[in-house]
Amino acid sequence: MLIELGVMQQRHEAVLEVLGGTCVTEVARRHGVTRQTVYRWLRRYARGGIGGLADDSSRPATCPHQMAAQVEARIVELRRAHPGWGPRTIAHYLGREQVAPLPSRSSIYRCLVRHRLIDPQRRRKRREDYRRWERLRPMELWQMDVMGGVKLEGGDELKLVSGLDDHSRYCVSAKLVERATARPVCAALIEAMQRHGVPEQILTDNGKVFTGRFGPAAGEVLFDRICRENGIRHLLTAPRSPTTTGKVERFHKTVRSEFLRGRAFASLAEAQEALDEWVASYNEDRPHQGIGMVPPARRFALAAPEPLLPVVLAPERAESLEAAAAAHRRCVSRLVGRSGKISLCGFPYYAGSYLAGETVSVAVTEGGLVEISHRGVLIAARARRHPPSADPVRELRSRARPRPQSAGRPVLRKVDPTGYVSFAGTGYFVGSRRRGEQVEVHLVGESVQISRAGELIRTHAIKHDRSKEHGAFATPGGRPRRRNAADDSGTEGRNAAGGANA
């Protein structure tokens, strides 16, 4: 008859056999285990009796690498004091406090998850998911932008004119202004250059304070002029592309989370003083994850500051941009011909064949140069060909605005809500700000000129089917109102009834 014994009972019998004088080798062979196992059973029986022969947990009784309670409490304290700090930043500050042993980033992350200070379900980007680019040395490129959201106790809001060095992430400009118009923004730029030197390039978005690229009139704005006079190349982002200036945008996020969270200031002076103190800590003491957990000042110190070039147009010395521009040079508009040339004082100047049909801004400088700009960007600089004895001022004033050349009767069209007019079944762009206005369409050679009140607005190369022009000229006032057939039959019926009554 077979009897099934439990594990503890088998071990107990093996121990009793050895204690009764049986050889350990014989007992191990009979129970199908090694001699070392039998000796282990003997030690456990001597230490805990028959209860010591039960299976124990494989978990160690102690863990020398377990995080100390004091370190765990410090991690929770740092996270609650600074909600924007992650495991890397917390580990950096624990190292500065000489905490030993220093926990790893994964240990700090598990600690924050255990205390519900981090959502473990939130997706964490991998390192290869990020695409970063930066200049190779300081003072090669500045990123500048304007940020709102700095609140005063009275309910008003201030604007922050910020600038960041692309290589070092050093904050070169943090100026609070009441209104982010051209003069305060340019004053902040001049102040930053006087303090740190002149950068090689400045990258901004397409705001009106930075460029006239999308303004109502093409020309050089105050910011562009300061850059030009100091030898700075002004770079613009593509429309609706805020990631191009990602470093200064990320700086704005840091300002909002670490400086502006839940704060309101009594006055602009108080806000500026507090901001200057925070920026000093940001530049000199706060570690930056994007540059290897070192303060931005350590990277920025590698740059040798260059002396500021004389700024001809300073906001505090110029009463208006137009007056200063008139004193320095005279700007007019010209229409680029099919050959890519413009005419000034009876002399041709080459602008570029790719600009045929476009309107450019022409400036005559005191140094004898004719500068040609398109949408605020300088595209060509030519030596003056007309004689100095000629008076260009009168010629510029008389031809300040190009007028459309008449070629047959004009066709009237109304600008639709998208800024286009229709001519011969093809849409031609006029401008969004001209929505609802009535304009005149002229055919001049191989171009379509659109004007209003004798002023040329746009010039386009012909892109419609020339065989359909007769239809456009047949309705010069626009498409006639379509009448309903039912209305026509009703009118005929009423006329017939009236004739019968008569």
Query: pLDDT-based confidence at 314, cuts 50/70/90?
Result: very low
CB atoms within 10 A of CB 401: 12
pLDDT value at residue 310: 53
Whether the per-residue pLDDT at 189 is higher than 50: the answer is yes
pLDDT value at residue 306: 55
pLDDT value at residue 322: 43
The closest of 65, 48, 68 to 8, measured between CA atoms, is 48
Output the pTM of the full model: 0.50
One DSSP character per residue, 53-105 reads GSPPPSS-S--TTSPPHHHHHHHHHHHHH-TT--HHHHHHHHHHTT-SSPPPH
The closest of 133, 129, 131, 111 to 120, measured between CA atoms, is 111
Whether the per-residue pLDDT at 482 is higher than 60: the answer is no
pLDDT value at residue 387: 66
Q: Are 200 and 232 in contact (CB under 8 A)?
A: yes
For residue 492, give the amino acid letter: E
Taking residues 349-369, what's their average pLDDT? 79
Least confident interval from 34-43, 375-384, 456-465 = 375-384
Q: How far is CA 254 from CA 103, 122, 259, 463, in A?
A: 26, 20, 8, 50
Distance, CA of 478 to CA of 415 (rounded, Å): 11
Whether the per-residue pLDDT at 432 is higher than 50: the answer is yes
Q: How far is CA 331 from CA 323, 328, 346, 398, in A?
A: 12, 10, 16, 13
Whether the per-residue pLDDT at 400 is higher than 80: the answer is no
Q: What is the mean pLDDT of the chain?
A: 79
Taking residues 103-115, what's their average pLDDT? 90
Query: pLDDT-based confidence at 171, cuts 50/70/90?
Result: very high
Distance, CA of 38 to CA of 15 (rounded, Å): 7
Query: pLDDT-based confidence at 216, cuts 50/70/90?
Result: low
Query: pLDDT-based confidence at 252, cuts 50/70/90?
Result: very high
Q: Which of 404-408, 427-431, 466-470 ranks highest by mean pLDDT?
A: 427-431
pLDDT value at residue 34: 92
pLDDT value at residue 151: 92
Whether the per-residue pLDDT at 481 is higher than 70: the answer is no
Taking residues 398-423, what's their average pLDDT? 69
Whether the per-residue pLDDT at 439 is higher than 50: the answer is yes
**What are 151's strand-pairing partners?**
157
Taking residues 396-423, what's their average pLDDT? 67
The beta strand positions in 132-200, using DSSP E, are: 141-151, 157-165, 171-177
Whether the per-residue pLDDT at 498 is higher than 60: the answer is no
Whether the per-residue pLDDT at 127 is higher than 70: the answer is no
pLDDT value at residue 321: 42
- What residues contact residue 100 under an 8 Å CB cut-off, 6+ apart? none
pLDDT value at residue 145: 95
Q: Per-residue pLDDT tens for 266-305?
A: 999 999 999 999 999 999 998 888 888 889 998 898 765 5
pLDDT value at residue 315: 45
pLDDT value at residue 462: 84
User: Which uninterrupted H or E stretch holds 278?
Assistant: helix 268-284
Whether the per-residue pLDDT at 352 is higher than 80: the answer is yes
Residue 202 or 361, more confident: 202
Structure tokens at 160: 């922050």
pLDDT value at residue 501: 42
Taking residues 377-396, what's their average pLDDT? 64
Give percent above pLDDT 70 in the chain: 79
DSSP 8-class letter at 286: S
Q: Are 413 and 448 in contact (CB under 8 A)?
A: no
CB atoms within 10 A of CB 40: 14
pLDDT value at residue 473: 76
